[in-house]
Amino acid sequence: MSESSDWQIPGSWVEIYEYIFVPAMVEEWPPRVAALAGLQPGDHVLDVACGTGVLTRYVARSVGVNGRVVGLDLSSDMLSVARTISLNSSATGSIEWREGDVCAIPFADETFDAVFCTFALMFFPDRVAALKEMHRILKPGGCMALAVWGAMQKCPGQTAIKESWEHHFGADAAAGFVRQHVLGDPETVHPLIHEVGYDQVSVQPTMGAVRFPSPEHLVRSYGALIGKQTDEQTRASLIEEVSAALQPYVGADGLVYPIEAILASARK
């Protein structure tokens, strides 16, 4: 049987992330993360690994026309979508989009009142270097706030996808699902931040929800996002396995399952 990537979810991987995964998994978190920093009108804010800018646009509304907001990301594709959305929305104010590496942030020392990083720290190759850079560009007394995904066992959707993916494609192919949750213990996150030199470190696990139309839509969305080449029979098996595992979370509103996030904040 020939292999295909036809998961029947149209769009580039960035468009799939923005228009499927952001509303399904990410959209509820910007208000919670932004609240950790206590932003004021006129603040200067940096959002590192900003992706398509869901949190960046939220904080731009908080700091107003006299504030400064910069979204920094390594992916030009992510930033292209972020710019397009921002240009089409008059409610977000002026945002500067910059391509750059969080381990070498292209700004001078003590430039920003707040720096944010949502659901990205676990993917950085050098987390300590990234946190040090975020510390460097903060003004004295400035706030760093971040979110990472919590324990995988508190996220039945990711657990089901990971186990089915591993069954069909092997542990290496499923490693990305595991990596999402490698900072899923507050006892790991707290010392990582504190040892870099931040003060007033607060780390709090909290629960949210993931919403998809169905388990099948969840499987197809991940397959399209990753671009995994497979055949129709394997896709059907993945959908069947994940649907069975997540049946307790299917109801009138489609598939709704819990997910844990760890929210952290600290001061310079």
Pair 131, 102: CB distance under 8 Å: no
pLDDT tier at 10 (50, 70, 90 boundaries)?
Answer: confident
Contacts of 207 (CB under 8 A, 6+ apart): 154, 258, 259, 260, 261
pLDDT tier at 5 (50, 70, 90 boundaries)?
Answer: low
Global pTM value: 0.93
Give the tens place of pLDDT for each residue, 229-239. 889 999 999 99
Given a cut of 70, whether residue 1 has pLDDT beyond it is no
Q: Average pLDDT for residues 181-200, to the nearest whole number?
A: 96
Given a cut of 90, whether residue 80 has pLDDT beyond it is yes
Pair 69, 96: CB distance under 8 Å: yes
pLDDT tier at 214 (50, 70, 90 boundaries)?
Answer: very high
Instruction: Give the mean pLDDT of the chain.
Output: 94
Among residues of the chain, what percentage have pLDDT more than 90? 89
> Do strands 199-212 and 254-267 pair parallel, antiparallel, or not at all (unpaired)?
antiparallel
Given a cut of 80, whether residue 92 has pLDDT beyond it is no
Give the tens place of pLDDT for each residue, 94-132. 799 999 999 999 999 999 999 999 999 999 999 999 999
pLDDT tier at 8 (50, 70, 90 boundaries)?
Answer: confident
Pair 108, 137: CB distance under 8 Å: yes
CA distance 266 to 35: 13
What's residue 91's pLDDT? Answer: 53
CA distance 119 to 147: 5
CA distance 43 to 61: 11
Q: Which domains are seen in the chain, by residue range? A: 13-151+181-211+256-267 (3.40.50.150)
Cα 225 from chain centre: 14
What's residue 64's pLDDT? Answer: 87
Q: Map residue 44 onto helix, strand or coil.
A: strand
- Which amino acid, residue 193? I
What's residue 216's pLDDT? Answer: 97
Pair 200, 142: CB distance under 8 Å: no
- Which amino acid, residue 216? E
Give the tens place of pLDDT for each residue, 31-43. 999 999 999 999 9
What's residue 2's pLDDT? Answer: 35
